[in-house]
Amino acid sequence: MSRSPVKSFDEKPDPFSDLDGRKPSIVSGHEIVTVTDLKDADEALAFLENHPRAAEVAAQGQAILDDPKSLARLVRKIDFTIAPLLACVYFLQFLDKTTLSYTAVMGIRTDTHLKGQDYSNLSMLFYIGFLATEFPTHCTQIIGGAIAYGVSFATTKFASWRIFFLAIGGMTVVIGAMIALLLPDSPVKAKRFSDAEKVAALLRVKSNQSGTQNAHLKKDQVLQTLKDGRVWLVCLCTMLSSIPNGGLSNFSSILLTTFGYTSQQALIMSMPSGAVGVVCVLLVGYLSDKWNDRSSVMLICTLPTILGAALMIGLDPNGIPHNKAGLLAASFLTGTFGAAFMLLLAWNASNMGGHTKKVTCNAMTLVAFAVGNILGTQTFQATQAPGYIGGKISIVVTLGLLCFVVLILRWMNDRLNKRNEAKLAEMGDAEREILREKMAFADRSDLDNPFFKYTH
């Protein structure tokens, strides 16, 4: 927030003038301007301020918010516009990472003459490509396992793993085209929504103080992101959770064969593990909303994976399985930590404000994700086959450290909430509410917005 000398400002004869941060607010005897130009504000503010029928759409939007049935209909429309498309994106993103695991027991290692550490290095190349070109859902494990299992029965001269790659690649092309055509990048640009519905959607989330987006890159927010210790801890959490993912997503099918199952049995056995993940994701989503606490739920769904990896070490220490059923159960338990990663992404998004800061943090997180997965592929060493003791130990160690860092992040967010509460307590009721409106779409970072509420 910047303080400015008194200056004239023409009153806007529109219903959204209270949101316009260019108009000074008086706080503790000082004039405060939250945004100097619309290009620096959230694009939602420009949409509302510049709308040619502002009064009309404001009334229509408020009518939607005031009518429970209309509001429920709008929420359903938003959900069905975004959720299915995002589910498809995450489906393919996760499937891309696990295709190699399925083809590992379908003959790709033999057909391509992979020896020693070659398979781990091949797994690593996927994430090197990911890292070079970019700054999970468990349903994929069920469907991917089913596709791989069906393709494994193919008797043509064309290798079954090649058919599998072609099937997944074709699916990616089709869904990619759908995403490009149908997925809006913000409420303001959602073509299937009327202007009144856009206004209602924007006003509905106004109180969360996180805005929508701003195409203008802000140097101060980039620098603040790099100086914010919480951002680096989020990156560390991402890397720690990605190391086990890099190993398990590429070696889960191979591990099942080392437990005494055939290649085709390993493919079909990957499906129950995906089902465990689906149940875990649904339960995690429900509990995090019910308790309004993401970090605690994150810890809860990380612990079973630590237990599963520990059981793999105890029941198969040297590549000689002592309890086939127990090892299968342990492999199912390792499917729970994916839900923790999902919550980590949501936790990160809800605890960052300012569009530039968000995208900078997201870029750093994606780099950490790729680096973690690269390291994860190398924790499974060919020299340790078939026990892969190093890979299993790395899962226990990295997820144990993840739990510790999550607790530190929770403590830091709680401290920031107390700081903001102290700032707000110094303001009068009227000036606090006036400033709250102006900050809603000012595109200020979380650290610069005393109304920002950090989540657990």
Whether residues 137 and 243 fall in one domain: yes
pTM of the model: 0.73
Q: State phi, psi for 369 to the nearest 5 degrees.
A: -60, -45
Q: Residue 436 falls within a domain, yes or no?
A: no
Average pLDDT, the chain: 78
Same domain, 25 and 168: no
Q: Is residue 442 part of a domain?
A: no
Residues 202 and 227 in one domain: no
pLDDT at 238: 92
- Tokens 């990472």 belong to residue: 97
Asked if 11 and 93 sit in the same domain, the reply is no
**If you average pLDDT over residues 53-61, what whole number do you get?**
80
Q: Based on C-alpha coordinates, what's the Rg of the chain?
A: 25
pLDDT at 407 (0 to 100)? 95
Residue 439 placed within a domain: no
**Inter-axis angle of helices 355-378 and 219-227, nearest 10:** 40
Identify the bridge partners of residue 26 per DSSP, sorted by sequence position: 31
In a domain, 8, yes or no: yes
Is 15 in the same domain as 126?
A: no
CA dist., res. 441 & res. 20, Å (int): 8
Q: CATH number for the domain including 321?
A: 1.20.1250.20
Are residues 235 and 256 part of one domain? yes
Mean pLDDT of 402-417: 94
**Total structural domains within the chain:** 2
Q: What percent of the chain has pLDDT over 70?
A: 74
Separation CA 219–CA 225 (nearest Å): 10
Structure tokens at 403: 């739990």
Judgement on whether residues 230 and 363 belong to the same structural domain of the protein: yes
Q: pLDDT value at position 289?
A: 81
- pLDDT digit string, tens, across residues 193-251: 888 888 787 777 776 666 666 667 788 888 999 999 999 999 999 999 989 987 787 77
Residue 430 lies in a domain: no
CA distance 107 to 125: 19
pLDDT in tens, 87-115: 777 777 766 666 666 666 666 677 777 67
Would 277 be classed as within a structural domain? Answer: yes
Q: What is the mean pLDDT of residues 380-408?
A: 90
Mark whether 61 and 120 lie in a shared domain: no
Give the model's pLDDT for residue 12: 45
User: What's the rounded Cα separation, in Å, for the pair 394 and 241?
Assistant: 11
Q: What does the DSSP 8-state code read for residue 448?
A: G
pLDDT for 126: 60
Distance CA 205, CA 166 (A): 42
Angle between helices 160-182 and 139-151 (to 10 degrees): 140
Q: Is the pLDDT of residue 449 over 90?
A: no
User: Per the domain annotation, does 172 fall within a domain?
Assistant: yes
DSSP per residue, 146-195: HHHHHHTT--SSS-HHHHHHHHHHHHHHHHHHHHHHH--SSGGG-TTS-H
Write out pLDDT tens, residues 412-444. Answer: 999 999 998 998 888 878 777 877 777 777 778
Using one digit for the tens of pLDDT, what is the confidence trace for 120-140?
666 666 666 555 544 444 455
Give the residue numbers spanning the domain of 47.
1-66+192-213
